[in-house]
Structure 1
Amino acid sequence: MKKVAVILAGCGVYDGAEINEVVLTLLHLSKAGAQYQAFAPDIEQLHVINHLTGEEVEQSRNVLQEAARIVRGDIKAVTELNPDEFDALIVPGGFGAAKNLSDFALKGVEAKVQTDVLAACQGFAKANKAAGYMCIAPAMVPLIYGPGVIATIGNDEGTAQAITQLGATHQTCTVDDIVVDETHKLVTTPAYMLAQDLAQAETGIAKLVKQVLNMAI
């Protein structure tokens, strides 16, 4: 049975992990007979957004505690993630990937990945283990894999240009498809960068999970 680590960025599309992307990922892993363990950085969120109004509110929330909401409390700090214990890694999107897992939302081409998250993700990269990143999370891959890594965030010109400047080779991709970098064993899909509904997001995520599991040795 293949074991997959899943790194989450909080809870909620605008300030954390995109909940639908996470649930669809875990659903397809489960249906494929794979084991998974969720992780998240034990840090404060960049900010908190009222998802009803879209406005920032004066609150402080912890990324790990918020992410625990999605996985019924079955989650560990990302510092506990040992790539040697897993066959593959998947990182769902949501703005939290660009606000909490990295600072891409703030700094663009000057972005850095959060220290503990970077160590975990690079562990999989250095071991040449399969990984999947979706939605805005692929903005981190050039900082993890280095120049020349192939990835997609869909077709948003500005974001594609930014991750190209960071060193990635961007490929335009439709919502229902994936981009595979065979050399790095990396799979990416646009998900809610393009999806207009749950069904559209599900198609690409299902393909990503299947491909990651196929590439996992």
Structure 2
Amino acid sequence: MGKKVGVLLSGCGVFDGAEIHESVLTLLNLDKAGAEIVCMAPDMEFPVVNHITQEATGEKRNILLESARIARGEIKNLKDVQASDLDALIMPGGMGAAKNLSDFADKGTDAVVLPEVQRILQDMLSAGKPVGAICIAPATLTKALGDKNPEVTIGNDMNTASALESMGARHFNCNVDMVHVDEKNKIVTTPAYMLGPGIKDIAAGIEKLVNKIVSMA
């Protein structure tokens, strides 16, 4: 097999978990690149959002179990994955990346990153292994790695960009079909559905991100 690339999922669905299109496009392009895919997610509960009304349902589900839907059952508990097991790591977006992997969606710059997510991101960077972050996922990445002053893009949303900069990032405006590469930290980001508008539009940037991550691994 080729490079071992982790895909860190945060549930299943744009409003409370991993964005499904972004996740599937990541998996598709990793498979095309000949990578060995290691899906993972934290084992914890999260509040569910009705994806038709975008309102909270009042129920809770488990991030690992929901993420397993995208991974077709082939998934690891994040706490059992070490940076030494991987050659690279990619975080798809979706609100789960900013609600479940951290609480950036609620707390903004005061966000706290889930300890297991903080650990894997810091360990990947310390080992000089590349990390990709899609859509809103750079917010959680920045909060975890702000002391490294990562270069990232979330597209061109000024409020989100300024929040990232106040957490230590350097933000670069990008179109949906572009990636930004932080050569020093080996971080690659693309706006995806922060810009959209559709699946064919986000596909171009995600393909570039995956290929760049695989080539850097």
Q: Normalising TM by the smaller chain, what interval?
A: over 0.9
Aligned-residue offset at 1:144: 2.6
Are 1:101 and 1:114, in contact at CA under 8 Å, matched by a contact in 2? yes
Which blocks of at least 5 consecutive residues in structure 1 are unaligned?
none
| Cα distance in 2 for residues equivalent to 1:43 and 1:118 | 15
Give the 5 Å matches for 1:58-97. 58-97=58-97
| Cα distance in 2 for residues equivalent to 1:95 and 1:212 | 23
Are 1:152 and 1:173, in contact at CA under 8 Å, matched by a contact in 2? yes
Give the 5 Å matches for 1:47-126. 47-126=47-126
Q: What's 2:155 paired with?
A: 154
Are 1:136 and 1:153, in contact at CA under 8 Å, matched by a contact in 2? yes
- The two structures have a TM-score, normalised by structure 1, of 0.97
Aligned-residue offset at 1:82: 1.1
For each residue in 1:54-98, what CA deviation from the matched residue of structure 2 results, as whole angstroms up to 9, or x when unmatched? Answer: 111011100001101111111111001111121100000000001
Between the two proteins, the alignment pairs up a number of residues equal to: 215
| Cα distance in 1 for residues equivalent to 2:142 and 2:6 | 20
Give the 5 Å matches for 1:23-38. 23-38=24-39
Are 1:104 and 1:111, in contact at CA under 8 Å, matched by a contact in 2? yes
Q: What's 1:183 paired with?
A: 184
Q: What's 1:215 paired with?
A: 216
| Cα distance in 2 for residues equivalent to 1:73 and 1:85 | 19
| Cα distance in 2 for residues equivalent to 1:199 and 1:111 | 32
Q: What's 1:198 paired with?
A: 199
Aligned-residue offset at 1:138: 0.2
Aligned-residue offset at 1:142: 2.4
Q: What's 2:13 paired with?
A: 12
| Cα distance in 2 for residues equivalent to 1:167 and 1:112 | 14
Aligned-residue offset at 1:101: 0.2
Instruction: Describe the SS at the equivalent of 1:146.
Output: helix
Q: What's 2:136 paired with?
A: 136
Percentage identity across paired residues of the two chains = 51
Which blocks of at least 5 consecutive residues in structure 2 are unaligned?
none
| Cα distance in 2 for residues equivalent to 1:151 and 1:74 | 30
- The two structures have a TM-score, normalised by structure 2, of 0.97
Are 1:83 and 1:123, in contact at CA under 8 Å, matched by a contact in 2? yes
Are 1:141 and 1:168, in contact at CA under 8 Å, matched by a contact in 2? no
Aligned-residue offset at 1:107: 0.5
| Cα distance in 2 for residues equivalent to 1:138 and 1:146 | 11
Are 1:50 and 1:56, in contact at CA under 8 Å, matched by a contact in 2? yes
Are 1:125 and 1:144, in contact at CA under 8 Å, matched by a contact in 2? no
Aligned-residue offset at 1:128: 1.1
| Cα distance in 2 for residues equivalent to 1:22 and 1:142 | 20
